[in-house]
Amino acid sequence: MPLIAKEDFGYVREIIKTGQVARGEFVESLQNEMTRRFRLRYSLATSSGTAALHLALLALGIKETDEVIIPSYACSALLNAVNYSGAIPVLADIDPETFNLTPETIKPKLAKKTKAIIVTHTFGFPADLERIIKPGIPVIEDCAHAIGSLYKGRPTGSRGRIAVFSMYATKMLCSGEGGMLCTNDFDLAERIRDLNDPDMRDDYKVRFNYKMSDLTAGFALSQLRKIESFVSRRSLIAARYEKAFMRLPVNFQKVLPGTTPSFYRFVICTSRSKDLIRSMQKRGILCDRPVYKPLHRYIRSKGNFPGSDIVWAKAVSIPLYPALKDKQVSEIIKAVKDSFKYSENS
């Protein structure tokens, strides 16, 4: 659930007064703010996170017969973006403790045709980018969950060739829809600008209308300026959950040394996941699998995916968002504990 305040609507009212609702000064301001916060040179707004992924792949020159490695434990947007580009998606397993790709899970999937790797920072927990980027294959950091997280003192998203962000309604900051690409590479930024500007061109090639409107950008800008408070609140709630659940038969997502998660979700892994989900939903508390289905369960892919399968079978997402009141957090904690007691006695 997004935390939307009165000031967020103030931006929308100002934009409507100007009559400029397409791409304009608010998009420019949002791009500048993203550049400043993520310590990168170029930021380019898009209509969605999936659009940002698609443009990132095209800007890297990904084409048919090229292979792009993506995690199996991820939403289907990654699979769609690779397929949009005409490339071949190659699924890699995750570490069942961090829920992220690692050099060890990526290595068996590397081939001469590998032209890019999309690394998700799953649920806002940064992956081990320093080791993943060492082989030199272009890495796209999917930071849809990770605005506000840190990797070795720097904002997550500042180490790959390109970082992509989502501003969908349920993400770390909400503008309804929207996405962003960030990079330090001038040539990549110019290619992305060219691909996302189809009108009034002297030459013709396939370009895309993935532009963000000022209406979307104003809302996103208002939310972005509060991101520290959002992350702080999420961290406080996560700390309460971890303390309350540490004696239950559950495992928590592992935080890598030198990283600070943004806690997009708080996920516990338990062999009683189905019972817990059912019990919590009966109490009117929405808990569910955080990933609907691993990608290897949609498409055929070589190899086994034990990490993805284990996490998928055991993971349960406990409600975590800044708008939760302390009383609601206490009620959720009690419901989880009661669910385990019920399971033990049934």
Task: Note the pLDDT tens digit of each residue in 16-62.
Answer: 666 665 567 889 999 999 999 988 999 999 999 999 999 999 999 99
- Do residues 144 and 248 share a domain? no
- Do residues 72 and 130 share a domain? yes
Residue 53 in domain = yes
CA distances from 24 to 27, 212, 222, 237 (A): 6, 9, 16, 37
CA atoms of 106 and 144, how far apart (whole Å): 21
- Do residues 80 and 216 share a domain? yes
pLDDT value of residue 176: 78
- Do residues 220 and 231 share a domain? no
CA distances from 167 to 43, 127, 188, 210 (A): 14, 20, 22, 14
- Do residues 103 and 235 share a domain? no
Q: How many independent structural domains does the chain possess?
A: 2
Residue 306 in domain = yes
* Residue that is last in its domain, among 224, 247, 281: 224
Residue 132 in domain = yes
Residue 298 in domain = yes
pLDDT value of residue 41: 96
- Do residues 190 and 333 share a domain? no
Which tokens hold the place of 190?
Answer: 């110019």
User: CB–CB of 288/131 below 8 Å?
Assistant: no
- Do residues 47 and 119 share a domain? yes
Sequential DSSP letters for 232-270: HHHHHHHHHHHHHHTTSS-EEPPPPTTEE---S-EEEE-
Residue 117 in domain = yes
Q: Where are the beta strands (DSSP E) in 103-204?
A: 114-120, 139-142, 150-151, 154-155, 162-166, 179-183
Residue 136 in domain = yes
- Do residues 138 and 217 share a domain? yes
* Residue that is last in its domain, among 198, 224, 250: 224
pLDDT value of residue 309: 98
- Do residues 40 and 14 share a domain? yes
Residue 1 in domain = no
CA distances from 150 to 132, 133, 264 (A): 16, 17, 13
* Residue that is last in its domain, among 224, 250, 271: 224
- Do residues 47 and 154 share a domain? yes
Phi, then psi, of 261 in degrees rounded to 5: -75, 160
pLDDT per residue rounded down to tens, the chain (346 residues): 565 666 666 666 776 666 665 567 889 999 999 999 988 999 999 999 999 999 999 999 999 999 999 999 999 999 999 999 999 999 999 999 999 999 999 999 999 999 999 999 999 999 999 999 999 999 999 999 999 999 999 999 999 999 999 998 788 887 778 999 999 999 999 999 999 998 889 999 999 999 998 888 988 888 898 899 999 999 999 999 999 999 999 999 999 999 999 999 999 999 999 999 999 999 999 999 999 999 999 998 878 999 999 999 999 999 999 999 999 999 999 999 999 986 555 5
pLDDT value of residue 303: 85
Q: What is the extent of the structural domain holding 115?
A: 6-92+99-224
Residue 85 in domain = yes
CA distances from 190 to 76, 195, 332 (A): 28, 9, 48
pTM, 2 dp: 0.93
- Do residues 240 and 208 share a domain? no
**CATH code of the domain in which 292 resides:** 3.90.1150.10
- Do residues 176 and 279 share a domain? no
pLDDT value of residue 344: 58
**CATH code of the domain in which 85 resides:** 3.40.640.10
